[in-house]
Amino acid sequence: MAGGRGTGGRARLAELVAALSLGVDLGFGQPMEHVLRQCLIALRLAGQAGLDEADRVAVYYTALLINVGCHADAHEQAKWFGGRAVLSPADPVTNDRS
């Protein structure tokens, strides 16, 4: 993506957003890196469509941020697609979901 490596040990925005996308996976009860895989598919499609660099950057961030804040129906999606963590309540003391 655009921009170089972070300087002085600072993370790039792209890396931060990618890391935060893992929280979306947890919120929806999806396997880890589900959103990252969606992003890769979106970027491949953008490349096949011949989009320029600026448009591919927009695709990258849109694909990672598309579901941020949209966890109101996470329980429904867990029923449709699976997601044991969302469907089974955790023990409040141990956080055990078994």
Model confidence over 8-46: pLDDT tens digits? 677 789 888 888 888 888 777 778 888 899 999 999 999
Of the pLDDT bands very low, low, confident and very high (cuts 50, 70, 90), residue 79 is confident
The reply to whether 30 falls in a domain is yes
The reply to whether 29 falls in a domain is yes
Range of the structural domain that residue 74 is part of:
13-87
| Burial of 84 (C-beta count, 10 Å sphere; 0-12/13-18/19+) | exposed
Task: Please give the pLDDT value at position 77.
Answer: 66
The reply to whether 80 falls in a domain is yes
The reply to whether 94 falls in a domain is no
The reply to whether 93 falls in a domain is no
What is the Cα–Cα distance from 42 to 28, expressed in whole angstroms? 19
Q: What percent of the chain is predicted at pLDDT more than 70?
A: 64
What is the Cα–Cα distance from 95 to 89, expressed in whole angstroms? 9
State the pTM of this model: 0.61
Q: What is the tally of structural domains in the chain?
A: 1
The reply to whether 2 falls in a domain is no
The reply to whether 54 falls in a domain is yes
